[in-house]
């Protein structure tokens, strides 16, 4: 099988579900609020399936039919709990560190377009010793419209002085792929993150990888 290689100078990553596995800490914070309201706790894999679009939709999905009753207070409690406990179970996905090092050595510019609060994203990068790989991090406080709108990706590309046609957007959710397409980048879907294989395939990225190390097979 011949693999097409893409000529890219810039790589834009989604953060949760692509670079870092934050599922355990997010699930812990979500189950904390469910316990507070005497609601049944949910399995980690169920909560992980709700990740995407920020804290608001995740909390609503966790609360289910109690969302209208508890949402505003629950959202505040979730954010507070997560901010206090966001770096207990969070880890890099296998192979990510080697991929970042390879891209860095090849002088590729790298940035992050995420729905995670920028300070938390920075702190996690520092804690996992990967902060020096990324020149730009754009979170929800820097945009007016979240993915699938391309605003976050466009800001990353602008700050890096990147040509969209020679840039790559990597994500684990359809919203990431659609944002990359709208920004004019090459797109890569990952199936090891929080999104389903069906969701990624349905968003029709330019290529799909099942482990981080495979990315290097597609970049010149």
Catalytic residue among 14, 16, 25, 172: 14
Would you say 150 and 9 are in contact if contact means Cβ atoms under 8 Å apart? no
The 10 Å CB-count burial string (b at 16+, else e) for 69-98 is: ebeeebbebbbebbeeebeeebebbebbbe
Residues 68, 185 contacting (CB under 8 angstroms): no
State yes or no: is 14 an active-site residue.
Answer: yes
- CA pair distance 83, 66, nearest whole angstrom: 24
- Residues with Cβ within 8 Å of residue 33, at least 6 apart in sequence: 59, 62, 63, 74, 77, 78, 81
Q: What are phi and psi of 121, to 5 degrees?
A: -60, -45
Q: Which residues contact 179 (CB under 8 A, 6 or more apart)?
A: 113, 147, 148, 149, 150, 152, 153, 169, 171
Q: Which residues are catalytic?
A: 14
């Amino acid at each position: 099988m011949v693999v097409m290689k893409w000529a890219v100078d810039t790589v834009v990553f989604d953060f949760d579900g692509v670079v870092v596995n934050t599922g355990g800490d997010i699930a812990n914070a979500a189950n904390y609020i469910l316990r507070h309201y005497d609601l049944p706790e949910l399995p980690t894999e169920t909560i992980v399936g709700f990740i995407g679009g920020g804290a608001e939709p995740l909390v609503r999905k966790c609360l289910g039919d109690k969302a209208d009753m508890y949402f505003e207070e629950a959202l505040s409690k979730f954010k507070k709990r997560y901010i206090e406990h966001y770096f207990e179970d969070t880890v890099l996905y296998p192979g990510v560190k080697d991929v970042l090092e390879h891209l860095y050595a090849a002088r590729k510019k790298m940035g992050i377009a995420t729905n995670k609060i920028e300070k938390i994203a920075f702190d996690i990068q520092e804690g996992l010793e990967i902060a020096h790989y990324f020149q730009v991090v754009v979170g929800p406080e820097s945009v007016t419209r979240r993915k699938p709108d391309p605003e976050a990706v466009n800001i990353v590309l602008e700050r890096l002085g990147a040509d969209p046609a020679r840039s790559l957007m990597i994500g684990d959710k359809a919203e990431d792929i659609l944002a990359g397409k709208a920004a004019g980048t090459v797109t890569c879907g990952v199936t090891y993150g929080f999104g389903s294989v069906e969701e990624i395939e349905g968003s029709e990225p330019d290529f799909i990888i099942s482990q981080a190390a495979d990315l290097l097979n597609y970049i010149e």
